[in-house]
Amino acid sequence: MAASREEVIAALRKAYMMEVETVINYLANSLHLEGVRAEAIKSSLAADINEELTHARSLGNRIKQLGGTIPGSKELKFSQDPLQPPKDPTDVVGVIRGVLAAEDDAIKHYQSIIRMTEGDDYVTQELAISNLADEDAHRQQFEGYLKEYTKG
């Protein structure tokens, strides 16, 4: 059974909030980290901000097309605890693990949107598939960073 329009809008609004939170946390971590080992991660996070912002824009546009409203700052609910800037600004591995946790959450959420729109809302489904592909590639990149930064 296909999801209702309201359920799809709610899922898109959640995805939008997740992307906006990721932008905020990538920005914060790209500025907060310090040390020689941090430079590659800082650069990667800074570069990925635009991709995550593009996801938020496309989600916002789809929400509007479906008759929903885009959440403003007072409606945003954030939950990316693992991606908060660490107390120790040299904790690069902690940030990498936070990125992986955020990517896992995004991947699971996009997969749920794909399932809920199957056979009914191909436009939303295609948007979720496209965003899922980006998130999956980003996760793979940070899995590589984790291997490199944790080998002993």
What Rg do the C-alpha atoms of the chain give, in angstroms? 16
The full set of domain ranges for the chain reads: 5-150
Dump strand ranges (E) for the chain: none
Residue 1: which pLDDT band, with cuts at 50, 70 and 90? low
pLDDT value for 40: 95
Q: Rounded to whole angstroms, how far apart are CA atoms 103 and 84? A: 14
CATH of 5-150, one of 3.40.50.150, 3.40.710.10, 1.20.1260.10, 3.30.1380.20: 1.20.1260.10
Of residues 2 and 20, more confidence is placed in: 20
Residue 142 has pLDDT above 70, yes or no: yes
**Position 27 pLDDT exceeds 70:** yes
pLDDT computed for residue 2 by the predictor? 79
- 8 A C-beta contact, residue 68 and residue 9: yes
Determine the distance from the C-alpha atom of residue 40 to the mean position of all C-alpha atoms in its chain, rounded to a whole number: 19
Given this model, what pLDDT does residue 137 score?
97
Residues 123-147 have a mean pLDDT of 98
Q: What is the pLDDT of residues 83-133, one digit of tens each?
A: 999 999 999 999 999 999 999 999 999 999 999 999 999 999 999 999 999
pLDDT tens digit sequence for 35-92: 999 999 999 999 999 999 999 999 999 999 999 999 999 999 999 999 999 999 999 9
**pLDDT above 70 (res 135):** yes
Q: What is the predicted pLDDT for the residue at 152?
A: 66
